[in-house]
A and B are shown apart, each in its own frame.
Chain A
Amino acid sequence: MKNTISARVADFLKNYPPFNEVDTKELESLSEEVSIIYKVKGEIIFAIDEEAHQYFYVVHKGAVVLTKEPNDEVVDLCDEGDIFGLRPLIANENYKIGAKAYEETILYAIPIIDFKPIIKKHDEVGTFLIESFASNTRNPYSNSYRGKLYEATSATEQNRVNDKELLDLQGVPYSKKLITCSENTTIKTIAIKMTEKKVGSVLVVNNKLPVGIITDKDLRNKIATGLFPITTRAKNVMSSPVITYPKKMTVTQAQMAMMKSDISHLCLTLDGTTNSEAVGIISKHDIMFELGNNPAVLLKAIKRANGFKKIKAVRRRIMSLLQGYLDQNIPLTLTSKIISELNDACIKQIIKIALNKMDAQPPVKFAWLAMGSQGRSEQLLHTDQDNAVVFENVSQDQLEETRNYFLDLAKIVTKGLFDIGYEYCPAEMMASNPDWCLSLSEWKERTFHWITNPGPDQVLLSSIFFDYNLAYGETSLVNDLSTHLFETTEKYPNFFLHLASGALQSPSPSGFFRSFLVEEDGEYKDFFDLKRRALMPLIDGARVLVLSHKVKLINNTAERFEKLAELEPNNEELFLACSYATKALLKFRTKHGLLHNDSGRFIALTKLTKEEKIKLKRSFKTIKDLQELLKVRFKVTNLLN
């Protein structure tokens, strides 16, 4: 029975190989037999040695990680449109690799019995299956076989293929969207085009055949030096002849070719000579991106991304960079600086993309604020998004219209952040919520209200909001708001008392016998809540102390403690200990988060080594000392409850 949903499934499948080779009618009737399966993050789809299901799977939404023994080594990560679990069905054997939902995932399960006739009927489908078996296509995650429907048995039997060997096999990815010009195009036009398209080179073609290439370097060496005027034609400046290669080349070959001719761009043609049509360009940057995770390369990749999906791919590489830093024990201060910088760049790029998607330019200046852990540059892993928008004051009659513009913008941005892995804030503290998308004077009013009426809600709101950091937009708006905050808190010092008592509300990390206190019920029963019991007291404590010292522009908790140590030499030892504890706990959390692909907030105590437990406990002593200091300084005791 063909219906709305099967049509929808067919509509999705037809975009991905090998289904694109199947004709519409057949695809529709295949779709009628599909099951749509929802998998929670971490849920197992099939395990190693499990008997093969009657279905193979296509990822509709989310991602699936394929692993093999020993040690659950990651073999592949399947994204939207990728197929997995087909080989055992054809080979009639049990699963040799395991599959698990890497994110919350929706799968299409396709019955093999209905798919087999299609393989037989369409040669192209069969060819696809054989080709994906035989060729290696690129995959940054593994020593493996992306898009492969059959897992290569020879490789499973071999010991691990190491990365270097793999580069020799990996086909090089090249950009198929060629930016070209003719021999008579003026240099000025070319430079404008290169700027627009954000590329470093333009191919000069004549009848689709490559005749020359102009790169950034040519513009610098031949135009900026005055050798040629900017009105000159391409043919006078271009490097010619072009060095061309066939499109089937590996990363290593491409790298060698560039070294050999000392060039930064390779032109790929149909048959590899200058006498055939140009089909693509490989830049040094493309190669660098393949070669490894390097912050500068990733940063460039983010800035070049023109869609959320591309950023998501880069984000995954940021995570493996982070893993590498932790494995190599690089100091956390440096690690978090780099990762925050990259995270920041992702957010900026998402906002840029969102602005492009809007029909109109922003009506007034605005600033996008990152709040909470992101504002403090302490967000190493994906957690919830907390953000807000402040826009320039407008007249009352334009206020709602202006707000609506920014709400629409924020909806696209928050969706983009969601797409790359930041969950929506469960308390709706997001710029897409009208309460968090305000004009400057509205923000001033609102924060004034919080400071002058510090109930528990207001203190909580302040503690989230006051760590804001400009993520994108107009600096002056943020400075104006900060000045307002400091002036107000100065006039109403009572606020600090409440903020300090809020900081003391976090539950204690350890009990009377110095044992860990764990959660008593709910999803995380018997887990240790690292965030609430250990990190929050430090974060909250640092905030109130720093605000009371009127220190501006330092948001990071560890840095705040370092500043405090400088300001109060008599407490230097404690504050430095706090700074150390913050970093240690953050590192701890990040490690656990990476290990379990979650936020790392809840720790299973049974999985900790003795050394780790001792380390944790040592930080609890520091927390206790800090809380004592807060109590005495802000005279909180007599106010509590």
Chain B
Amino acid sequence: MNLFKKKRKKNYPDFWMKYEAKFEKKASYALPEIRFVVFDTETTGFDYDNDRILSIGALSVKNNSIHISDSFEAFLYQHFYHAKNIEIHGILQEERHERITELEALIQFLDYIGNSVLVAHHAGFDKNMINYALKRHGMPDLKNKFLDTSVLYKRTLINSPLLPVKPQYSLDELAEKFDISKKDRHTALGDAYITAIAFMKIVQKLKLKKNFSAKKLLK
């Protein structure tokens, strides 16, 4: 009980206030009305403190439709540059994509996602990557609800002693299971696309289970 150390309300920049304001209205729980933003980040590595985001790709899914015009793709300037990552991501520093700063990318991303439900494969990683970037610019964490396709996928598996459930399912495995082409794999938007299709198929499977509700899904 420390009444005097009451959290001081910070003065956040306009873009953050605008983003925050979008959460004031209560979100809908009708599945066809929910805007899901499926996203993926490509990074220089797995260390939240030292590694940086190379690119962010995101698509919106609403009522089982992806509108390509409502998608997001940003490539960031790189100060941290690990040669070993080129192999995986194929993003070369000199490549032709137009680049923006980390802050600019965050501003655009926040504007794009709004209060949508965020979906990613192994979402914890992408979430942290964004949150650490926000922190570097003095911003609090993302306020959105998160869904992780790797967790959701496990819920679709049949409960059978004959089927050992693995602790992890990679995006490649999901792509194979759901017959999704692995073209553009390891680009942020390409991976986001695979995740989005897998996500729609997973939700469809979950819907058939008893006691399914959108509210529960988002819990």
Contacts and interface: CB of A to CB of B under 8 A. Distances in A.
A6 B190 CA distance: 11
A5 interface: yes
A277 interface: no
Interface stretch (A131-139, A229-237, A420-428, A606-614): A420-428
Contacts of B73: 1, 3-4
B161 interface: yes
A6 B68 contact: yes
Contacts of B66: 5, 35-37
B67 interface: yes
Nearest to B160: A427
Contact of A4 (B160, B161, B177, B190): B190
Contact of A522 (B57, B161, B176, B210): B210
Contacts of A415: 176, 179
Nearest to A9: B68
Interface string A388-426: 000000000000000000000000000100100000101
A460 B158 CA distance: 15
B64 interface: yes
Contacts of A5: 59, 66, 68, 71, 189-190, 193
A427 B160 CA distance: 7
B183 A38 contact: no
Contacts of B204: 38, 40
Contact of B184 (A1, A8, A522): A8
A34 B70 CA distance: 10
Give the size category of A's interface with B: 35 or more
Interface string A36-70: 11111000000000000000000001000000000
A460 B162 CA distance: 9
Contact of B68 (A32, A61, A457, A461): A32
A8 B193 contact: yes
B42 to A, nearest CB: 12
Interface in A456-499: 456-457, 460-461
B68 A4 contact: no
Contacts of A427: 158, 160, 162-163
Contacts of A37: 64-66
B3 interface: no
B125 to A, nearest CB: 20
Contacts of A39: 64
B189 A3 contact: yes
Nearest to A61: B179
Contacts of B107: none
A426 B65 contact: no
Contacts of B208: 522-523
Contacts of B176: 415
B211 to A, nearest CB: 8
B2 interface: no
Contacts of A456: 161
A22 interface: no
Contact of A36 (B65, B158, B177): B65
B184 A4 contact: yes
Nearest to A43: B64
A393 to B, nearest CB: 25
Contacts, number: 83
A31 B163 contact: no
A106 interface: yes
B95 to A, nearest CB: 13
In this complex, the member of B69, B183, B197, B210 whose beta carbon has the largest number of chain A beta carbons within 10 angstroms is B69
Contact of B65 (A4, A31, A109, A424): A109
Nearest to B57: A4
A77 interface: no
B67 A35 contact: yes
Interface string B145-186: 000000000000110111100000000000011010001100
Contacts of A61: 179
B209 interface: yes
B64 A38 contact: yes
A538 interface: no
Nearest to A464: B162
A61 B175 CA distance: 14
Contacts of A31: 68
B116 interface: no
Contacts of B200: 38
Contact of B157 (A4, A40, A426): A426
A36 B68 contact: yes
B187 interface: yes
Nearest to A106: B197
Contacts of B209: 522-523
A35 B61 CA distance: 10
B201 interface: yes
A196 interface: no
B197 A418 contact: no
A521 B201 contact: no
A523 B193 CA distance: 28
A35 B68 contact: yes
Given A8-B193, A428-B163, A429-B162, A521 B210 contact: yes
A598 interface: no
A139 B190 CA distance: 35
A1 B70 CA distance: 9
Interface string A90-111: 0000000000000010100100
B69 A33 contact: yes
Nearest to B183: A8
**Top 4 A-B pairs, shortest CB-CB distance:** A4-B189, A523-B208, A36-B66, A38-B200
Interface of B: 57, 59, 64-69, 71, 73, 157-158, 160-163, 176-177, 179, 183-184, 187, 189-190, 193, 197, 200-201, 204, 208-210
Given A34-B68, A61-B179, 19 more contacts: A1-B71, A5-B71, A8-B184, A8-B190, A31-B68, A33-B68, A35-B67, A36-B65, A37-B66, A38-B201, A106-B197, A424-B177, A426-B158, A426-B163, A428-B163, A457-B161, A460-B162, A522-B208, A522-B209
10 contacts: A5-B71, A6-B68, A8-B193, A32-B69, A35-B65, A35-B66, A35-B68, A38-B200, A415-B176, A457-B161
Interface of A: 1, 3-6, 8-9, 31-40, 61, 104, 106, 109, 415, 418, 424, 426-429, 456-457, 460-461, 521-523
